[in-house]
Amino acid sequence: MPNIYKDRILVVEDDADLALLVRDYLEKYDFNVDIISNGQQAAHLIVNTQPSLVILDVMLPGINGMDVCREVRAHYSGPILMLTALDDDMDQMLGLELGADDYIIKPVQPRLLLTRVRTLLRRVRVDDTRSLGQYTQPPQTLRIGVLDINMANRCVLLAGKPIDLTSAEYELLLLLAQDVGQVVERNTIVQELRGFDYDGLDRSIDRRISRLRNKLTLGDHPNIIKTVHGKGYQLCTVEA
């Protein structure tokens, strides 16, 4: 019998193999996952069942994912994560403008998908002002002192200067920024970004932290990211 207290995710995807891959992977991490392949049917299901999160493919039979997003947004306040095979900024921006919260470009990397899902669900829990029928587009930029993280175009500015980050560094920074001023445990970071528990030996996150910290050095404030020994890492607010 399914656990009704788990987060329920609806996967709207007409590629049966990909849909099953996503379902099986997310169910390993304690999510309840339903699959539907038709866009028109998906729109009705989203509004009627109000899943915790929707993973929505852009190219669908019936109506496409963009139209589904547009149709349901006035009646569904949960996060929508778009899947797109098109590496086109205009398509990604259009999805965000229609009410999508984030997007992933195919081929889907399961660990990255898991990270995005967890991040979106955590964001919803923090923002308790979202309610059915009263959806407002979430802010596209996180501003932390002189650090700006634009989630629409994944651009990071430090004191107005663009910072060139890899995708892995950006995901790490966004994870820390969600809990700015709080210590994020190393095990939590490994689970979120790598998809498995920290074994006490993996140093890849430490190396990623070091590279990110070096890129975020600002004048007299070299330690925007602090190491809390024996616990994890903390992103600090730095003013000009």
What are the mean pLDDT values of the chain's consecutive 10-residue runs (240 residues total)?
68 95 92 93 92 93 88 89 70 63 83 84 59 49 85 83 84 85 84 59 75 81 80 82
pLDDT at 125: 63
Residue appearing with tokens 């590279």: 211
Q: Verify that 41 and 94 share a domain, yes or no.
A: yes
**How many domains does one find in the chain?**
2
pLDDT at 13: 95
Answer yes or no: is 221 within a domain.
yes
- Which CATH number goes with the domain that contains 169? 1.10.10.10
Answer yes or no: is 228 within a domain.
yes
Residues 6+ apart with CB under 8 A from 57: 12, 13, 14, 15, 65, 82, 83, 84
Q: Verify that 24 and 75 share a domain, yes or no.
A: yes
Q: Verify that 114 and 16 share a domain, yes or no.
A: yes
pLDDT at 2: 43
pLDDT at 167: 75
First-to-final CA distance of the chain = 55
Residue appearing with tokens 């109000």: 50
Q: Verify that 37 and 107 share a domain, yes or no.
A: yes
- With CA atoms as reference, report the closest residue to 173 among 122, 207, 208: 208
Q: Which domain holds residue 102?
A: 8-126
Contact 146, 239 (CB under 8 A): yes
**The two three-digit tokens of residue 73, written as one number:** 């947004």
Answer yes or no: is 137 within a domain.
no
Answer yes or no: is 3 within a domain.
no
In this prediction the pTM is: 0.56
Q: Verify that 36 and 118 share a domain, yes or no.
A: yes
Residue appearing with tokens 């590496």: 87
Answer yes or no: is 23 within a domain.
yes
pLDDT at 18: 94
Answer yes or no: is 211 within a domain.
yes
Domain end, chosen from 95, 126, 157, is at 126
Q: For the residues of 56-98, what is the DSSP string, one character each?
A: EESS-SSS-HHHHHHHHTTT--S-EEEEES---HHHHHHHHHT
pLDDT at 97: 65
Q: Verify that 34 and 117 share a domain, yes or no.
A: yes
Answer yes or no: is 217 within a domain.
yes
